[in-house]
Structure 1
Amino acid sequence: MRTSIATVCLSGTLDQKLVAAREAGFDGVEIFEPDLVASPLSPEAIRTRAEDLGLSLDLYQPFRDFEGVGPERLEQNLRRAAAKFTLMNRLGIETMLLCSNVATARSGDEHLAAAQLRKLGDVADRFGVRVAYEALAWGRFVDDYETAARIVRLADHQRIGLCLDSFHILSKGHDPEAIETISADKIFFVQMADAPLLSLDVLSWSRHHRLFPGEGAFDLGTFMGHLARTGYDGPISLEVFNDTFRQADPFATAIHARRSLRWLEHETAASLGSGPSSRAAPMSTAMLPLVESPADVSYVELRTGDSDELRLLLMQLGFRPHGRHRSKQVELWSQGAARIVLGAPDSEHPQPTVAGIGLTVKDPAAALLRAEELFSAVVPREESEGEEPLVGVRAPDGSEVFFGADRGSVPTWVDEFGSTAAEHADLIERVDHVNLAQPWQYFDAAVLFFRAVLDLHTEASVEVAAPVGLVRSQVLRSDDGILRIALNLVPSGSGADAILPQHVAFATSDVLSLARAARERGFSPLDIPANYYDDIDARYQLEPALLDELRELNVMYDRDDAGEFLHFYTHSVGTVFLEVVERRDGYAGYGALNAPIRLASQYRHRANQGDLA
């Protein structure tokens, strides 16, 4: 698959964008006209710079408001087009994007539009370039790709073809299956973008909320399958308008974008292998190495900062220490199959934080290969003789994911710590989920990373009201629910006042007994206001004895059609807190209705401690 990216996707100068695209492994770029106009480099210098970097210049865009106009306007448009074609010759670009008219068209007559495109094709022929006509979702008369395809067929000119854009097609709910009826030689260019499903006018949706493939809700694998069956084998380019990406580091965004196209290539190969095809699909695609769902969460690593509070909380919840690792500056605490590795603070983690997770997988080498093919950075790790080999990669926010082999109920690496934990009645059974806070510039990249690298599935995102703003949460999980990762977007502009929604949740089958045993060890749970218990009593009509016990132990409650959810929280230590959950009768959620109460309680706790001064 030949890959390309529009310069509008990246921040920085045009030269920085070109370098970032090359370093991320793209084959080519689309030149967005405002980037060219703002550049001090001449078109010839830009062409030379791209050649030196090994990048092709695939598309010049956009040319607007051409067809459906009166004779005088048409002549003006043809002169304007000739000037752009001259510029394209200087750049060495062979294809120009023409958007369907949104402002100046007076007629929706398809034959008139085709005749005018034919004249444009004659001008393009003089310069040896092509025009790719794209139906904008908000076009005045042409707003769908099938109409655009009819106009291109009527124009019947070798220099006039189509640009297919997944956003403009899927955002309007058009069925992409008819793409297979288009001749491949008339598809001049393809642009891909994902997006969340929003109730928003399509222009605002397009300009601010597009995403890279794999981050949104569009079925892009099926879209690409239809495209491949036409025989198209040209560039697959990213055109993503997104306020976040335009502010983020262009080199990180380019790698993130390249990861999305590798994931899309995998989805395309899967789609081609799962449906009938009457025509060959010459587009080069390859599946990613297949990986099975993790057998379990082997451990979660927390950085402790300069405080012993996390150790105290673990002890109060019933965890036992194993001691320090024989060659690394970390220590292990465990209860049941839940293991917490505590690491010393470092320059990247001066405060307590969730630093990484370890997963037990069938084939660590295959898991690592998949991650590397998705352009993930490998985490260097020194191993002394006799130590269990673990391989890991770095997530966009800097946290780490390590893969270890499945060697039974207790990993062999546990023996590398100083002692065996004392026998104890385990009320905590395993890690239920890990909740990672994501700064604004990493949230979408993290969704793609965990979805693609670990082959997780996204659940519907939710927004939760907090004292410092709205917290957006996106859950990804394995098919069997063994691995659940919740990504929370820190409210923009919240600064130090934000309660970072970052924590580890442990599963138990008796949360009330565990809460009582923890209290006997001196544990003080996060305080939940009396108004909350009055509210759930009115909502659920709980048995009075259960309600009294929940209130006494500061345990929260939720219910869905499947079952019940009981859970309680610790207070925050730095940016970390802990949660214990009990899922009854198939409850699959996370107590979303309780999150605003939890966030407000954490905010009050920090204020009482003077942390918000």
Structure 2
Amino acid sequence: MQIDPTQREGLQATDNPLGMEGIEFIEYLTTKPQALGQVLETLGFHPVARHRSREVLLYRQGDMNIIVNAHDAADGRLAGAQGNPVIGAIALRVRDASLAYRRALDKGAWAVPTQVEVMELNIPAIHGVGASRIYFVDRHKEFSIYDVDFVPIPGVAKRPASLAQMHFFGAVQYIGWERTEDWTAFYAELFGFTAIPDQTRFGILPKGRLLRSPCGTFYFQLVEPEPGLELEADGQEYIERIGLGTPDVAAAVAELKQRGVLFSESARAPISDRGAVVAGQLFGLSFELVHSERA
């Protein structure tokens, strides 16, 4: 029998310390859930389930889950101007949610107190950028969190097929002036993200620093204010948009255009084989297509 030398010396692998396995869901907060739902449906998402006790809807295509939360938005948590949609949380798939949560706290993360109602799961969370949250989810295979907290919508496929093989590619985070190193250290220490070389770029908006997740399935992009605009940014930090990967950008753009999706075609953000930017569909809400083969 062979003995793992890392076990002999009491060492642990550090390249993926939380056992991360991708993004479980993206949560939007808004007091205009119907309007946001219409935008998501044009992008190929379908409403598949309703929360048992709150005004929350689950939208899905392929293995991408988006939660539209009008309950917490009504309570004022991270509500955008006039109730416009904002990204309130990202949930990470991990092998053991409790273990990942405790390790993050040990590394200095701030816990988010949860208020769980009857028949609801307690999903551990820490504070992310701004007022957002980062959840840890380990029930995403045979049995998922949605089997407990949500009721399926009758007559809707549980897992609608994805358009043009779209999948979560990552998220773009706007940060304060000269805060790149701080956030790089945050994601590296707590989760095991690594900065990739500046010459390695994806999509058509290659600004800022790219961080690769330890599981290699998604990225965070850190973007500081433009030089000279740092005072106008007023130190605000938040998740600006999500990126949707697809192996064929042209096919995805053509299919989405047929569904009524508008794309930016300016010189600053042209449509190309590398990617495309969905124009503001709802009060500035945007998405980004990025050329990406599934990991």
Post-superposition offset of 1:350: 2.1
- Matching of residue 328 in structure 1 with residue 58 in structure 2: no
Partner of 2:220: 485
Query: Which one of the candidate residues 521, 537, 555 is aligned to 2:259?
Result: 521
2:177 match: secondary structure: coil
Partner of 1:370: 103
Moved more, 501-510 or 439-448: 439-448
- Matching of residue 350 in structure 1 with residue 58 in structure 2: no
1:418 match: secondary structure: strand
The verdict on how the C-alpha distance between 1:306 and 1:291 changes in structure 2, with shifts beyond 3 A counting, is: same
Query: Which one of the candidate residues 94, 117, 132 is aligned to 1:399?
Result: 132
The verdict on how the C-alpha distance between 1:520 and 1:396 changes in structure 2, with shifts beyond 3 A counting, is: closer
For residues 132 and 109 of structure 2, the distance between their equivalents in structure 1, rounded to whole angstroms, comes to 12
- Matching of residue 426 in structure 1 with residue 159 in structure 2: no
The verdict on how the C-alpha distance between 1:308 and 1:395 changes in structure 2, with shifts beyond 3 A counting, is: same
Count of paired positions: 265
For residues 218 and 231 of structure 2, the distance between their equivalents in structure 1, rounded to whole angstroms, comes to 31
1:452 match: secondary structure: helix
Partner of 1:475: 210
- Matching of residue 408 in structure 1 with residue 141 in structure 2: yes
Decide which structure has greater helix share.
1
Partner of 1:569: 277
Query: Which one of the candidate residues 10, 14, 27 is aligned to 1:301?
Result: 27
- Equivalence map 1:22-421=2 (5 Å): 291-304=17-30, 306=32, 308-344=34-70, 345=73, 346-351=76-81, 352-408=85-141, 411-413=144-146, 416-420=149-153, 421=156
Letter in 1 for 2:80: P
Q: Which has the larger radius of gyration?
A: 1
1:445 match: secondary structure: helix
Query: Which one of the candidate residues 177, 185, 195 is aligned to 1:448?
Result: 185
The verdict on how the C-alpha distance between 1:388 and 1:291 changes in structure 2, with shifts beyond 3 A counting, is: farther
2:183 match: secondary structure: helix
**Could you give the per-residue CA deviations for residues 414-471 of structure 1, whole angstroms, max 9, x where no partner exists?**
5532324436432244311111112338544322221111111122458x9xxxxxx9
**Could you give the per-residue CA deviations for residues 211-263 of structure 1, whole angstroms, max 9, x where no partner exists?**
xxxxxxxxxxxxxxxxxxxxxxxxxxxxxxxxxxxxxxxxxxxxxxxxxxxxx
Decide which structure has greater strand share.
2
Post-superposition offset of 1:307: 7.0
1:435 match: secondary structure: strand
For residues 294 and 257 of structure 2, the distance between their equivalents in structure 1, rounded to whole angstroms, comes to 27
Letter in 1 for 2:161: A
CA contact (8 A) 1:353 1:575 kept: no
CA contact (8 A) 1:434 1:504 kept: yes
2:104 match: secondary structure: helix
Letter in 2 for 1:324: R
CA contact (8 A) 1:472 1:488 kept: yes
1:300 match: secondary structure: strand
CA contact (8 A) 1:368 1:392 kept: yes
For residues 473 and 487 of structure 1, the distance between their equivalents in structure 2, rounded to whole angstroms, comes to 5
For residues 294 and 93 of structure 2, the distance between their equivalents in structure 1, rounded to whole angstroms, comes to 26
**Could you give the per-residue CA deviations for residues 571-599 of structure 1, whole angstroms, max 9, x where no partner exists?**
2345641122332599xxxxxxxxxxxxx
Query: Which one of the candidate residues 285, 288, 295 is aligned to 1:579?
Result: 288
Partner of 1:555: 271
TM-score of the two chains, using structure 2 as the length reference:
0.75
Letter in 2 for 1:384: E
Post-superposition offset of 1:387: 2.9
Letter in 2 for 1:555: I
Identity %: 19
For residues 410 and 513 of structure 1, the distance between their equivalents in structure 2, rounded to whole angstroms, comes to 33
Unmatched segments (≥5 aa) in structure 1:
1-269, 275-285, 465-470, 533-553, 558-565, 587-613
Q: Quick one: higher RCO (CA 8 Å, sep 6+), 1 or 2? A: 2
2:126 match: secondary structure: strand
For residues 27 and 150 of structure 2, the distance between their equivalents in structure 1, rounded to whole angstroms, comes to 15
For residues 426 and 506 of structure 1, the distance between their equivalents in structure 2, rounded to whole angstroms, comes to 11
The verdict on how the C-alpha distance between 1:429 and 1:412 changes in structure 2, with shifts beyond 3 A counting, is: farther
CA contact (8 A) 1:357 1:400 kept: yes
CA contact (8 A) 1:511 1:580 kept: yes
Post-superposition offset of 1:410: 6.7
Partner of 1:599: none
CA contact (8 A) 2:191 2:214 kept: no
The verdict on how the C-alpha distance between 1:436 and 1:509 changes in structure 2, with shifts beyond 3 A counting, is: same
For residues 305 and 327 of structure 1, the distance between their equivalents in structure 2, rounded to whole angstroms, comes to 17
Unmatched segments (≥5 aa) in structure 2:
1-5
